[in-house]
Amino acid sequence: MTTKPRTRKAPVAKRAAPKAATKQASGEPKRKVSGIRNLVSRWRWLEADQTHRANIAQTEKESERLIAIHNDEQMNIEGALAQVVPKCFLDACCLLEFATERAERGDCMADHAEIDMLKNVVAGLRAAWRGELDAARNAGMDEMRRTINFVTGNASKMIDAELGIRRSA
């Protein structure tokens, strides 16, 4: 009479990754891409896909059908871009480039969304400029405080040395 082999009840423990590998993976900076750049990129991809499909179509009717495939998504993206206000100069430049490119080509967007995009660029640039000014002002004030503290500290040490005063640190 033969017996069945017993199966192992506990799963085999996995081997731990080397410590150097975990430090390298966690040390990489995570890059953030704004929503504006994502939307513009997606819109351009949809346009390129439509053009490609239209070029490989065999009949005019099929070409028109293939061009209309992504129209709804492109309209949604244009609507989203018409409502978003850029938070930094790079986002504003991307949106400005997209809106002016569309206007130069003479492609009118739904409800003239390019006008809303340009207004949002203006609002975003004003906000970003205000942020830059505030950051520069704060950096200047911090530098001024450090300089004043350094100068007054050294002056205090020189006066104490002249008067022979010893202060404990």
Contact criterion met (CB below 8 Å) for 96 and 121: yes
| pLDDT recorded at residue 149 | 86
| Per-domain boundaries in the chain | 34-163
The per-residue pLDDT for range 34-69, each reduced to its tens digit, is 788 899 999 899 989 888 888 888 888 887 887 777
Average pLDDT (152-163) is 83
Residue 73 has pLDDT above 80, yes or no: yes
Mean pLDDT of the chain: 78
Distance in angstroms (rounded) separating the CA atoms of residues 33 and 45: 17
Rg (CA), the chain: 31
Average pLDDT (108-134) is 77
| pLDDT recorded at residue 169 | 53
Using a cut of 0.85, tell me whether the model's pTM lies above it: no
